[in-house]
Amino acid sequence: MNSFNRQTSIAALDIGSSKVCCVIARVSRNQKISIAGYGYNASKGIKNGIITDIKQATYSVCDAVEAAEQMANERVERVIVNISGDRIKSDVKTATIGLNKTKPITENEINKVIAKGIYKINVENNELIHCLPIGYSLDSGEETHDPRNLYGENLSVNVLLGKVPDITFKNLKTVLDNSHLEIAEKALSPYASGLSCLVNDEKELGATVIDIGGGTTSIASFKNGQPIYFSSVGVGSNNVTNDIAWGLTTSFAHAERLKTLHGCAFLTSQDQNEIINVYTMGEEDDSLIKYIPKSELIGIIAPRVEETFELVNKKLEDSGIKDLRSSAHRIVLTGGGSQLSGIREVASYILDKQVRLGHPRNIGNILDISNYPILQTPSFSTVIGLLLFIFNYTERKPGKIISKPVNVEGGRFNKILSWLKQNF
């Protein structure tokens, strides 16, 4: 468990393409969380999870943090921040050591095989976000979650590496530096969402969280209580809104309203008979309102939703992880885009899996979230998951990080590794 447990307050910051949200909470000695304040506002300078305008993104972050500070009457200096974007990826590194087969496995052998697994990690111009031991196996056989007291000739460990392009992290860190915020810890958005949305049985038996944000759709798969795969696709709910605005020649704001009020992920027989109003872009005269069948709106939305899940399906199929292709593997949709009517049915059809809608529910440590209904909606799954991240902290310190070309600065990694070293 990291140093957050010795602090009275924590702050989580979700920087997304649609909104920036900050939640400040207080942690008691018995590891219970109480919400102290929150703030959020529309994102500016952020597209597809990537910083595109440092100045505007800094304003967005400062506004959200200041609103949370005022509500909590507390100053934020360090944050747990999410890392998103359309280039999230993961790799698994495997290491094996020989055992004394006359003696049972102890913590010493576990630490030894992990140390081998996390030595000389090559990030290849990426920022290492996660380094997680996710499973052990004996003599190349069945996996085990806890190999202690077992006998064998060889012990292997799989280490999951979660990464994003180095440049993505640099721009995000610049925004936080400009906002006078220090990164205490960081987590990939879908991992955080999984912590808040999945129940324990789903994490154990196998489930994938699909977090549909404004600019990206991110993926985290779990098995045996641990994440086993991270990825993302560069399509989100804003793409649906843009398609509506373009197809119906209306403003982005009105397109978003049409999507919210009348949108659906698939056509029904009644949609041709229902008429909706569309305000033409730049026209304020009510006499110029267009009247179209709802089916025309759905005809714009449905292809984009289908495309999104087709892209996700290809990611899962190409992952090489057998369990992700199993029909028994469950899907949980969350994020603001998951609130579109009919989206669960379309996801179930394309992914050929059981699908449910997810919202922050794995919140046994959070005492008073019921007092803040908005924080229980799918749009806030990531930020609530960032709070829960401190109780699910299994990161391990890499023995050596290699980057090509070599990062001549070295300071950023050294700072992170130093922080980890102080807490393990």
pLDDT of residue 407: 42
Q: What are phi and psi of 340, to 5 degrees?
A: -65, 130
324 — phi, psi (to 5°)? -65, -25
More confident residue, 268 or 142: 268
pLDDT value of position 404: 62
* H/E stretch holding 4: none
**Tens-digit pLDDT profile for residues 87-133:** 999 999 999 999 998 999 999 999 999 999 998 888 888 999 999 99
Question: Does the pLDDT value for residue 319 go beyond 50?
Answer: yes
Q: How confident is the model at residue 412 (pLDDT cuts 50, 70, 90)?
A: very low
Q: What is the C-alpha separation between 169 and 163, in angstroms, rounded?
A: 10
128 contacts 91 by C-beta, under 8 angstroms: no
pLDDT value at 415 more than 60? no
Quickly tell me which residue has 């996996």 as its tokens.
Answer: 143
| pLDDT score recorded for residue 422 | 52
| Per-residue confidence band for 286, with pLDDT thresholds at 50, 70 and 90 | low
Q: For 251-284, how does the pLDDT look when each residue is reduced to its tens digit (9 = 90+)?
A: 999 999 999 999 999 999 898 999 999 988 766 6
Strands (E), 67-124: 78-83, 89-98, 121-122
* Res 284: pLDDT: 60
pLDDT digits over 153-205, tens only?
A: 999 999 999 999 999 999 999 999 999 999 999 999 999 999 999 999 999 99
Distance CA 45, CA 249 (A): 24
The 3 state secondary structure assigned to 355-400 is: EEECCCCCCCCECCHHHCHHHHCHHHHHHHHHHHHCCCCCCCCCCC
Kindly report the pTM of this predicted structure.
Answer: 0.90
Write down the pLDDT at residue 354: 96
Q: What is the mean pLDDT of the chain?
A: 89
Long-range Cβ contact pairs of 27-32 (< 8 A, separation 24 or more): 27/390, 31/5, 31/365, 31/391, 32/365, 32/366, 32/367
What is the pLDDT, as a whole number, of residue 362?
66
Give the span between the Cα atoms of 127 and 162, in whole angstroms.
9
CA separation for the pair 230, 321 (Å, rounded): 12
Residue 406 has pLDDT above 50, yes or no: no
* pLDDT score recorded for residue 401: 81
- The Cα 48–Cα 235 span in angstroms is 8
Q: Strand 355-357 vs strand 330-334: parallel, antiparallel, or unpaired?
A: parallel
Sign of CA dihedral 231, 84, 188, 125: positive
Cα–Cα distance, 13 to 382 (Å, whole number)? 9
Region 365-373: what's the mean pLDDT?
Answer: 80
Is there a contact between 198 and 364 (Cβ–Cβ < 8 Å)?
no
**Residue 287 confidence class, pLDDT cut points 50, 70, 90:** low
Would you state the structure tokens that stand for residue 65, as one six-digit string?
Answer: 């943090």
Q: Which pLDDT score, from 0 to 100, does residue 366 have? A: 78
Mean pLDDT across 374-393? 92
pLDDT digits (tens, 9 = 90+) for 289-303: 889 999 999 999 999
Please classify residue 103 by burial: count the beta carbons closer than 10 Å to its beta carbon, then call 0-12 exposed, 13-18 middle and 19+ buried: exposed
67-94 mean pLDDT: 95
Residue ranges of alpha helices (H) inside 7-137 are 54-72, 107-117
Which secondary structure element, helix H or strand E, spans residue 304, and what is its range?
A: helix 294-318
Mean pLDDT of 376-390: 94
Q: Is residue 2 predicted with pLDDT exceeding 60? A: no
Domains of the chain listed by start with CATH number: 89-164 (3.30.1490.110), 200-360 (3.30.420.40)
Q: Which residue type does 103 have? A: K
Instruction: Please give the pLDDT value at position 384.
Output: 95
Q: 340 or 139: which carries more pLDDT confidence?
A: 340
* Residues counted in the chain: 424
How confident is the model at residue 371, as a pLDDT? 84
The CA distance from 174 to 185, in Å, is 16
Distance CA 138, CA 147 (A): 8
- Mean pLDDT calculated for residue range 408-417: 42
Examine the pLDDT at 423 and tell me if it is beyond 50. Answer: no
How far is it, in rounded angstroms, from Cα 30 to Cα 268?
51
